[in-house]
Amino acid sequence: MSGSPTIQNAHWAKARPALSVLIPFLRDDPSQLLALLDREAEALGSVVEIVVMDDGTGDAALTARLTAQVQTMALPIRLITLLANEGRSRGRNRLAGAARGGSLLFLDSDMRPDSDHFLQTWAELVRQQAPAVAFGGFSLLQAPDEPRFSVHRAMATNGECIGAAERAKAPEKYVYTSNLLVRRDVFEAEGFDGTFTGWGWEDVEWAMRVSRRWPVLHIDNPATHMGLDTVEQLAGKYEQSAGNFARVVARHPDIVSAYPSYRVAKALKRVPALRQVRPLIKQVALAAWAPTKARAFSLRLYRAALYAEAV
């Protein structure tokens, strides 16, 4: 980690953690999440450590606030501040290299635990089973309920915020780095692919690779995803993700061909003048006057129309 300022608190040196919680952030403030996790410190002892990494935000005031918070926390914690952004995949690989636990819990900075024994549940799972991979799920229980986020809320509720039993039917599909446990030897054998850039699919592609070699466990230990997006923001992310989707299709055609997003994209590929139609689909999704269900359908259709070029 040459050239990356790193500090840790007084509890770091003596801790012998079994579980390392890895939290990357960029232009976010993870202080509230850290405070919530630290409430479990007494129950956990020194079996859990936290490694939090600023992936090139460049905010000296935020760094100073976090440095002060780290020093007062009861859990062992290390703060790494990167001077330049490395991206989602490389950043998480770097976090894993800075951790000491035999199991790694990837937790996004905009997540909020849905229970007061969130880390205890993960630590107990590690103690009892030490699974190769486990995903805890996420919810929108604490997320802001504002009209501008209604489309994202509807899409996430129907497609992502589902229980462990349902997720287990397609275990590699419902894996996100928002609340993901990985055993160290598994991660060292199969890290995130640093060639993925922008937004999307790097975690699912990783899960596809891993699922060919190890079982993927799903449990109900959710955290709330606080970072809901507007339709404009989601559309922008989908536009970024088309290249990543193409990589997934090229590498794992046997798995991804069963996904609805692939099948719809394949069908749309046959639509004449799709590139000219695509902006019209987006306009329906952006229309505030349209019903939420119609906007959500249009946004999913717009994503599939983008992906049609990759199938």
Say if 216 falls within a structural domain.
yes
Per cent of the chain over pLDDT 90 is 67
Domain end residue (candidates: 208, 228, 248): 228
Q: Over the chain, what is the mean pLDDT?
A: 91
Residue 73's pLDDT is 96
Q: Higher confidence at residue 173 or residue 235?
A: 235
pLDDT 10s digits, 109-146: 999 999 999 999 999 999 999 999 999 999 999 998 99
Say if 117 falls within a structural domain.
yes
Residue 94's pLDDT is 84
Domain end residue (candidates: 210, 228, 246): 228
**Average pLDDT of the segment spanning 157-161:** 88
Are 140 and 251 within one domain? no
Say if 137 falls within a structural domain.
yes
Say if 256 falls within a structural domain.
yes
Say if 75 falls within a structural domain.
yes
Return the minimum-mean-pLDDT range out of 1-5, 41-45, 197-201.
1-5
Are 185 and 121 within one domain? yes
Are 199 and 271 within one domain? no
Are 156 and 304 within one domain? no
Domain end residue (candidates: 228, 261, 280): 228
Are 216 and 262 within one domain? no
Are 223 and 241 within one domain? no
Are 245 and 133 within one domain? no
CATH number at residue 167: 3.90.550.10
Are 297 and 188 within one domain? no
Say if 285 falls within a structural domain.
yes
pLDDT 10s digits, 239-266: 988 888 888 888 999 988 888 889 999 9
Are 237 and 209 within one domain? no
Are 183 and 173 within one domain? yes
Residue 220's pLDDT is 97
pLDDT bin (cut points 50, 70, 90) of residue 305 is very high
Residue 1's pLDDT is 47
Sheet with 138-139, strands from edge to edge, namely 111-113, 223-225, 138-139
pLDDT 10s digits, 168-196: 998 988 888 889 999 999 999 998 877 77
Residue 3's pLDDT is 60
Residue 204's pLDDT is 85
Q: Is the pLDDT of residue 21 over 60?
A: yes
Residue 199's pLDDT is 78
Domain count within the chain: 2
pLDDT 10s digits, 76-108: 999 998 887 676 667 788 888 889 999 999 999
Say if 307 falls within a structural domain.
yes
Are 220 and 242 within one domain? no
pLDDT bin (cut points 50, 70, 90) of residue 216 is very high
pLDDT 10s digits, 271-292: 988 999 999 999 999 999 999 9
Say if 1 falls within a structural domain.
no
Residue 55's pLDDT is 80
Structural domain of 66: 6-228
Are 199 and 260 within one domain? no
